[in-house]
Chain A
Amino acid sequence: MLASATRTHVDVPGVVRPGGSLDAATALAPFDGVLDERRAAHLLRRAGFGGSPDDVRRLRGATPASAVDALVHFASTGGATPQNLYDPSALFRQYGVRGLRSLTSEQRRQLFKEIRRNEVRSTLALQLWWLNRMLTTPAPLQEKMALFFHGHFTTVAVQKGVSPAMVFAQNQLFRANALGNLRELTRAVSKDPAMLLYLDNAKNVAAHPNENYARELMELFTLGVDRFSENDVRESARAWTGWRVSRLTGTAFFNPRLHDDGTKTFLGKSGDFNGGDIVDVIFQQPDCARFFAAALLSLFVYDAPEPALVDGVARLLRAHDYELSPVVATILRSNVFFSRRAYRALVKSPVEFVVGAHRSLGVTEIDRSALPALRGMGQTLFYPPNVAGWPGGENWLTSQMMIARQNYLAGFVNVQLAATSTWLDAAPMDPAAATRALVAGLLQQDASPSAYAQLQSYLGGAGTSAIPMLNTENFPVRIHGAAYLTMAMPAYQLA
């Protein structure tokens, strides 16, 4: 990885963007053009997981306001839920507390091994369920936000007692609050069983405070590094004491006897704070609005947003009391969102890449082969690498992860799709016309003249080429091969 390359214009140190300097005054004002195919596809990639040529054509000619309205307004949850979600609490109830205690260490080892096996199996099924929900949902922005929150308020499955049922409950919490209020979501996720277990807040008691959650709540979830003192961590940990998770029910509860009800001094305020009060104090900090503003801009617009742009979105967050819906709508309709600075300025995450490849081709089911492939690409749902979630951006660009992307794509397009009907089957038999259809449908024409020539030659139309002409017999293999090559191009890796 190279930290610097040839660069022409710098706003944030080390970052170069096309399109001159940022006009901070008008960046967040509504863009007054209409959607052409590039803009429509850009909006579909950013507010969801991309679209097929038909999806793009449907949005062509729409105004940003109407297109964004349709994306932002969706029913709160609904849709099918995963089947046979494993929940070990039933088993724990069957044994009872005494029964569990009376087990020999060997019996206990066997029991937990069995539970773990079931949990892993169930978590794999849950991954596949979510990928397919991202693919087929009528509300892609909701799933995009749920994925964002999963990486932001991280929890790792199958450890520390986090069951698949808890993981799914947290996933539904993110979905239900996808464009809700950030403060309320932060309060709710703090008391979510999976989070309480993963960051040890369920072990945080007055006699022995555990600082893990208190620290990450500020550093990774709401304020950022260096925005608080070590004493703030210790005081916040005291405020969070008393939350527990029952193994017998898999639910969270508060035990006032384990809570430290003394006075705490936290970020310059003093009082008999509990966890909810801590969240309130945090959300009064200007740093908190800036932290979420930068995160939203990195999700929707580009990485390393300029401080002036961050301040603009932070002002919006405060003005709307941390309600996401109006703020996200403003970002998605804005001049900066539709500017050259933002166009293909993000690296697709592996999940966006896999779900997006299916959407691009109009394939309506993701099969199990996606699961090991995503692991190779560096993004396994419900198993982020650590509490900071997936680092994203340039971090997706290593040769190993790129090989995993290309290998998945080769299997998906060249082999798996050979037996599936897609719009590729209706591509023209003429190599030049087929090339145009592929580059338009998959890349909105973001390819150079030499790329068109290469693809056309591959399809068999170069005249002097040793490759036989495109014909009905070789058409399926050739067109899938050309689709693979189109999607292997660098432009397709960019969102």
Chain B
Amino acid sequence: MKRSRFLIGTISGLAVGANTDHVFARALAAAPLPGLPGAANRVLVVLNLQGGNDGLNCVVPHGDPHYYQLRPSLAISQSDVLGIDAQLGFNPHMSALKTLYDRGMVAVVQGVGYPNPDHSHFRSTEIWQTAAPDRYEHTGWIGRYLDDANLPQSNLFNGVSLEPILPEVMVGTKVDVPAIASEAAYGLRIDRNPVQRQAYARLVNDNRLPFASPYLAHVMEIEDRSQRGSEELPRLIGGYRPAGAYPATPLGRSLALAAQIAGSNIGTRVIYEQHGSFDTHVNQLAVQNRLLAEFSDAMKAFYDDLAAHGNDGRVLTMTFSEFGRRIAENGSSGTDHGEASPLFLIGGGTKGGVYGTAPDLTQTNMGNVRFTVDFRSVYATILERWLGRPASHVLDGTFDQIAALA
């Protein structure tokens, strides 16, 4: 019943097959799929750069004169860019991420998007989360992966959302994903009163009620899981000590918890979190630069901590954003909703470098960057090469893979 408007009826006329005819240049592996890797202790962190991150001011095409023509007040000058090569460079506020890039831990995938792009934050976020651009789907691609992966049902933490409102990407039909805002917040106060606790445990499992409700079973399950989860979590992750300081930002705190969960080896396969809002219709430079600095600094602290515990090679981070932004700036020192943009794969398991083709700012889709890599190619690559499950169990159709993962 989640997001009911999407359950009513089906959408027609948008049927799109798998994209097999795109030119992926050097990005795509021509070789046959390798044997699916054994991935028992691998973790995927999905980081939503929410609100529509402007790709052009993030991975800056500083060698392209059109960029400077279309962004008279917003373009980042060539001398400020943290150069990758003569054409591309990172936003100057991402020096920490550039350090990781120089260590070979960051893959930049250019031009990621999907056919018939939707400019609504909500629909486009839903498309990224469900991996179903041509129909309304109510499970997320991670939720379907967790369902498919034969994970132990007794583990309450197979997947974890560090965002208190559970995102659609983590919704499946078998595995329930807890939302955890912080270790301290994830504790039930009555656990300190044993008599009340015992009574509570029985009362929330009471299923012979004199009324019916579409939500009743779900409320009971959540009450039960929150009690068991809040008892188990401190025991499971309480022994972890971070190796260094994290930035005092929400994302810094969140990634510190992610490192603690990943580093405690409690069987967690996927961790979700988000950062934003990147919806920079006005005053873009100040807002996006701050957000990118927070992202980059927190990511460096995260991988330094992971590395100190020997975990950097088993934790892969994938960023995404629902869309990039219009190539030309608007009149309010900002940019409106756009289409394709780059994403990052970060971690010791990536083959660092730039994949896909740089955005063509002359051949556009009504002023927006056209997609050259289908986002499901990235998902398929992660499913098969990182999580070790057949992509066809999770995604409709088959998608070429990207060579960014070993």
Residue of B whose beta carbon sits closest to that of A305: B4
Which residues on B sit within 8 Å (CB–CB) of A219?
A: 120, 122
B210 & A446 in contact (Cβ 8 Å cutoff): yes
A15 & B173 in contact (Cβ 8 Å cutoff): no
Q: Which of B120, B185, B200 contacts A400 (CB 8 A)?
A: B185
Contacting B at CB under 8 A, from A1-40, are 1-6, 12-19
A230 & B1 in contact (Cβ 8 Å cutoff): no
Interface of B is mostly: loop
B215 & A298 in contact (Cβ 8 Å cutoff): no
Which residues on A sit within 8 Å (CB–CB) of B220?
A: 490
B268 to chain A, nearest CB (A): 14
Which residues on A sit within 8 Å (CB–CB) of B199?
A: 454-455, 457-458, 485
Known contacts A2-B218, A406-B190; is A391 also within 8 Å of B204 by CB?
Answer: no
A179 to chain B, nearest CB (A): 24
Q: What string of 1s and 0s marks CB contacts (under 8 Å) between B233-265 and chain A?
A: 000000000000000000000000000000000
A190 to chain B, nearest CB (A): 17
Which residues on A sit within 8 Å (CB–CB) of B204?
A: 488-490
B209 & A403 in contact (Cβ 8 Å cutoff): no
Known contacts A15-B1, A210-B336; is A215 also within 8 Å of B120 by CB?
Answer: yes
Which residues on A sit within 8 Å (CB–CB) of B190?
A: 406, 410, 484, 488
B203 & A226 in contact (Cβ 8 Å cutoff): no
**B92 within 8 Å of A (CB atoms):** no
Q: Which of B180, B210, B211, B336 contacts A212 (CB 8 A)?
A: B336
Q: Can you list 30 pairs linking A and B with CB atoms under 8 Å apart?
A: A2-B172, A2-B174, A18-B211, A200-B281, A210-B281, A210-B332, A211-B336, A212-B281, A225-B123, A233-B119, A294-B4, A304-B8, A344-B215, A376-B164, A398-B165, A398-B178, A406-B188, A406-B189, A407-B189, A448-B207, A448-B209, A454-B199, A458-B195, A481-B195, A485-B196, A485-B199, A488-B223, A491-B211, A494-B213, A494-B216
B133 to chain A, nearest CB (A): 13
Which residues on B sit within 8 Å (CB–CB) of A225?
A: 5, 118, 120, 122-123
Question: Complex Cα distance A399/B140, Å?
Answer: 19
Segment at the interface with A among B224-232, B309-317, B386-394 = B224-232
B349 to chain A, nearest CB (A): 29
**A73 within 8 Å of B (CB atoms):** no
Given A345-B214, A485-B199, 15 new contacts (CB under 8 A): A13-B7, A14-B1, A18-B212, A303-B4, A378-B164, A395-B166, A399-B178, A399-B186, A406-B226, A410-B190, A450-B202, A450-B206, A488-B203, A490-B209, A494-B216
Which residues on B sit within 8 Å (CB–CB) of A302?
A: 214
Q: Which of B206, B229, B336, B337 contacts A451 (CB 8 A)?
A: B206
B183 to chain A, nearest CB (A): 11
Segment at the interface with B among A135-143, A201-209, A329-337 = A201-209
**A181 within 8 Å of B (CB atoms):** no
B322 to chain A, nearest CB (A): 11
Q: Which of B174, B208, B214, B226 contacts A17 (CB 8 A)?
A: B214
A1 & B211 in contact (Cβ 8 Å cutoff): no
B219 & A397 in contact (Cβ 8 Å cutoff): yes
**A493 within 8 Å of B (CB atoms):** yes
